[in-house]
Amino acid sequence: MGLKTVKRAGQALAVAAALTAATGPMSRALADDDTIKVGILHSLSGTMAISETTLKDAMLMLIDEQNKKGGLLGKKLEPVVVDPASNWPLFAEKARELLTKDKAAAVFGCWTSVSRKSVLPVFEELDGILFYPVQYEGEESSRNIFYTGAAPNQQAIPAVDYLMENEGVQRWVLEGTDYVYPRTTNKILEAYLKTKGVKDEDISINYTPFGFSDWQTRVAEIKKFGSQGKKTAVVSTINGDANVPFYKELANQGIKATDIPVVAFSVGEEELAGIDTKPLVGHLAAWNYFESVDTPENKDFIAKWHAFIKNDKRVTNDPMEAAYIGFNMWVKAVEKAGTTDHDKVIDALIGVSVPNLSGGYSTLMPNHHITKPVLIGEIQDDGQFSIVSQTPGLLVAQEWSPYLEGSKDLIADWRHPMNCGNFNVKTGKCGGSAETAKAN
């Protein structure tokens, strides 16, 4: 498989009887229907298909496995797959269809933060449930969204700490795709670096569009920035298929990991599959899971994945593990609530713990984020990662950054009686700060 837009066929199960609406805008119990519909909202075409297609396949595998166990509440799960095609407004349209037309009991989807922010008001309006499986910038907590990817303190900040402590990095290139996740993450990282004494002149921040391919000039600038006598690293929030020419240009200009290491937050096994990774050996990625994790749970997951996909060369990656955790949490919460009624499941999810693939248990916290370990991996010439650092325990996500002025006094707690996503601990009021309210 080349590093390009991926279009893999995924078969949904046969369409079952139409769902019968219950009372409430989207709090529909499915007791009288033959199946429970599960929405899959991932780009199967466009710039993000390279990353998202695998998550669609992973969800089909998880649903198939659950059906072999007898389904859920005595019913079969029926996946409803849609393609928002890397088109952010189309994500919102497809989300609305899944909730109103298909009556999805839960939706698993999105990758970019702009797609998540596009669908957020739809899920809040219709009281739906979205499981979001990708690392993101934080600065958000919605009652209707469950964030199973990493918040910045579960990925970005530990990556910077690793580079400081183990590589002696003093100059920083914050290189990202031009949208909300890289911009907000880099805002947090810039503030964090300054708390560590890093000066303005030692921080370079740059953004390029989705699908950007002409990296020659920018990589030359990075090379020049790193030639000032101080150890320099690139912290990459480049997303999607723009990573292909970026890494190729690094190799073309002779930038090795020993010279200017790159740590990426959106490059995993799937993005590296099928390309020549020899020039990239030693560059880093920070995730909460790698396929190379050596646990019985992970070996079992990989074996089931290869059997389902009928291709032993298809890799696993971090967002797949996040989808696996989120799906199992949803199943456990539905069983706990005894219904797929959205309001009851949302309440039942808090406190649910399920196995992750690193050998521990991840717990869904009151802020609708999960506990996660943090792993740093070095790219190997076979496209896998050698784990060079791992936190001894699991970290609780900071949904609001303590390094941003408009966020540092905010917490989220969706339990009664607080039931608030941006509670200001200084004012004692829900609603956050004026700055945060404006930003969100």
Residue 141, phi then psi, degrees to nearest 5:
-160, 110
- Tell me: pLDDT of 24 over 60: no
Q: Among 30-44, 76-90, 228-242, 322-336, which stretch is predicted with the lowest mean pLDDT?
A: 30-44
153-293+376-390 sits in which CATH class? alpha beta
- Tell me: pLDDT of 322 over 50: yes
On whether the CB atoms of residues 21 and 37 are closer than 8 A, the answer is no
Find, among 191, 209, 56, 203, the residue nearest to 137 by Cα. 191
Using one digit for the tens of pLDDT, what is the confidence trace for 75-100? 999 999 999 999 999 999 999 999 99
Break the chain into its structural domains and give their ranges: 35-150+294-372, 153-293+376-390, 410-439
User: What is the 3-state secondary structure of 171-225?
Assistant: EEEEEEECCHHHHHHHHHHHHHHHHCCCCHHHEEEEEECCCCCCCHHHHHHHHHH
* C-alpha–C-alpha distance, residues 17 and 255, integer Å: 58
Q: Mean per-residue pLDDT for 209-232?
A: 96
Question: What's the angle, vertex CA 78, arms to CA 77 and CA 82, rounded to 5?
Answer: 140
Q: Mean per-residue pLDDT for 22-32?
A: 37
Q: Mean per-residue pLDDT for 135-144?
A: 96
Q: Give yes or no for a cis peptide into 417 (omega within 30° of 0).
A: yes
How remote is the C-alpha of 106 from its chain's centroid? 17
Q: What is the pLDDT of residue 22?
A: 32
Strand order in the sheet with 429-430: 410-413, 420-424, 429-430
On whether the CB atoms of residues 394 and 175 are closer than 8 A, the answer is no
Same fold, 35-150+294-372 and 153-293+376-390: yes
Q: Mean per-residue pLDDT for 314-337?
A: 97
Question: What's the angle, vertex CA 349, arms to CA 348 and CA 354, rounded to 5?
Answer: 125
- Tell me: pLDDT of 137 over 60: yes
DSSP 45: S
Q: Mean per-residue pLDDT for 107-127?
A: 97
Using one digit for the tens of pLDDT, what is the confidence trace for 35-64? 999 999 999 999 899 899 999 999 999 999
Helix-strand-coil split of the chain, %, nearest 5 = 35, 20, 45
* C-alpha–C-alpha distance, residues 158 and 156, integer Å: 6
Q: For residues 33 and 423, which has the higher predicted lDDT (pLDDT)?
A: 423
Q: Which CATH architecture has domain 35-150+294-372?
A: 3-Layer(aba) Sandwich (3.40)
On whether the CB atoms of residues 398 and 410 are closer than 8 A, the answer is no
Q: What is the pLDDT of residue 1?
A: 34
Using one digit for the tens of pLDDT, what is the confidence trace for 348-377? 999 999 999 998 999 999 999 999 999 999
User: Average pLDDT, whole number, for the chain?
Assistant: 90
Residue 385, phi then psi, degrees to nearest 5:
-120, 135
- Tell me: pLDDT of 332 over 60: yes
